[in-house]
Amino acid sequence: MGREAHCDVAWGDDTGTVKVLLERDTLILRGAVARRIKLSEMRDIRVVGTGLRFVAGSDEVLLALSRQEATRWARAIAAPLPSLREKLGLDLGRLAVLVGVPDDPALQVALRGCTTDKPELASMVVARVHNDAEAMQAVRVHALLRLGRPIWVVHDKGRGAVYGEAAVRAAMRAAGFTDTKVAAVSDWLTATRYVIRPEGSPKE
């Protein structure tokens, strides 16, 4: 979603000026009142004359946004999140060649009915990787697809990641790819979209 604002807040008995961030599934307050709440845990969201009001746990919360801005935030919070299948671009009948084992329930659901073993029919590669060797296997499979098709590399995320974002990026950029998009898969996996780096463009 990517919205952000600076405003006054009243969260239960706590008040002050904060920076408010509206992320994909979380509302974050930083400043005089520091809070983090999942959008799914917010109740009774409504626009009032003094801003955006909702209930969090047992607390009444008021973000002192303008009425116009409060209306935008309320709509964004209420909007359904795109599914992982949609984020990967596998909706509308598109197919992917799968490399590796989809060892996460969310990934399994997203890929259900959307894979093929025929590269000529695929719109992309989706690869679950744990090391450089598996990433390079995905690159070799990707070479069988039509030019311009992307590859989604699904890898561990977080501080405890054995083979995470930095390692994947280094391997893929060395192979001539550049990352263009990121999609959260689950609490412990992320998918990064890569495309062939345009000829003559510098490595970052």
CA distance 97 to 120: 10
What confidence score (pLDDT) does residue 23 get? Answer: 86
Residue 108: pLDDT over 80: yes
Which ranges in the chain are annotated with CATH 3.40.50.150? 84-196
Provide the whole-model pTM: 0.70
- The top-level CATH class assigned to 3-78 is mainly beta
The mean pLDDT of 135-154, rounded to a whole number, is: 97
Region for 152 from its dihedrals, namely left if φ exceeds 0, alpha if ψ lies in -120 to 50, beta otherwise: beta
CATH of segment(s) 84-196: 3.40.50.150
Per-residue pLDDT band at 22 (split at 50, 70, 90): very high
What confidence score (pLDDT) does residue 171 get? Answer: 97
Q: What pLDDT, in 10s, does the model give residues 52-71?
A: 999 999 999 999 999 999 99
Q: What pLDDT, in 10s, does the model give residues 185-194?
A: 998 999 999 9
Which ranges in the chain are annotated with CATH 2.30.29.30? 3-78
Name the maximum alpha-carbon separation found in the chain.
61
Per-residue pLDDT band at 197 (split at 50, 70, 90): confident
